[in-house]
Amino acid sequence: MLKYSLKRLLQSLLTLIIVITLVFLLMRLMPEEGYFGDNYEKLDESQREAILTSMGLRDPMHVQLKNFYKSILSGDLGTSITYRPKVPVADIIKTKIPYSLYFGLVAMALSLVFGIMLGIAMAQSKSKFWDKFGTVYIVIINAVPAAVYYLFIQLYCSNALKLPILFSPSQPSSWILPAISMSLGSSASYAMWMRRYMVDELNKDYVKLARAKGLKDKKTMRKHVLRNAFVPMSQYLPASLLYTIAGSIYIESLYSIPGMGGLLVDAIQRQDNPLVQALVLIYSSIGIIGLFLGDVLMASLDPRIKLDRKGGAR
């Protein structure tokens, strides 16, 4: 377990370095106007060159990359140009994290409870009602564009339930619809995978043997089937949690939530290159960390998994 964890940690660090380098190179291909904001047209060519030189953007590429890594390691993510001029990017992100953290945790809790319970009900359904209901729900969530049902919830559910259509920090009722909307995609995935893994487990020989010996279905389900079905799904939980906490780009923009998701949209629209660069790095790091934690969690829950052996890792 320790050997595998160290191996996966080194692989994750290598992947992160590659991603950071690619993001750096891609951002250098972006138009230089993004480094000037609204002042681009007001400056002549010599002034632009002087500013770019002072920012180190005229240094050789390997020197820029070295300085970029030094800045990251020291916690310096750069300074905003157009979103909040001359304000450190780290300070901007600090003000956004609490909103995304709150909505992410609430949405994650809702999706886990509803998704897993629905998946269990679908797998155990004898009347087939829950299986049909869950199937329809999963198909709608996965087949219909998210923007469509997000708008439907915002426009129609807000009227039907008398809830605010936009987020307000001082109005707790305005937090309900965004949290529910943010949980829909994950809950459908959890329900689908929990049903699949439980059906696989229910068809295995040990379940048939337990039933033949007269062991109650509830006991078999609780002690064996649920635990074994949860193991393969557990590898997706850390990544899903981190992504949800990071904020939903579309939902935060739709409800005017001042979180991380809406920040990325604003930064792109304003062509704030340093801010976009920092946010892309954060989201990339979240994805890599989530995959690493998922593999470690799966191996921790099931001691039979030996991922340090050849062919055991993903």
Q: How far apart are CA 50 and CA 242, in angstroms?
A: 40
**Domain boundary assignment for the chain:** 1-314
* 84 vs 40: which has the higher pLDDT: 84
Judge whether 142 and 157 are in contact, CB under 8 Å: no
Say which residue the tokens 């020197």 belong to. Answer: 63
> Widest CA span of the chain, in angstroms?
86
Which pLDDT tens digit goes with each residue over 223-232? 777 777 777 7
Which pLDDT tens digit goes with each residue over 217-260? 677 776 777 777 777 777 777 767 666 665 577 888 888 888 88
> What pTM does this model have?
0.73
Q: How far apart are CA 208 and CA 206, in angstroms?
A: 5
Judge whether 50 and 36 are in contact, CB under 8 Å: no
Q: Which CATH class is domain 1-314?
A: mainly alpha
Q: Residue 197: pLDDT above 70?
A: yes
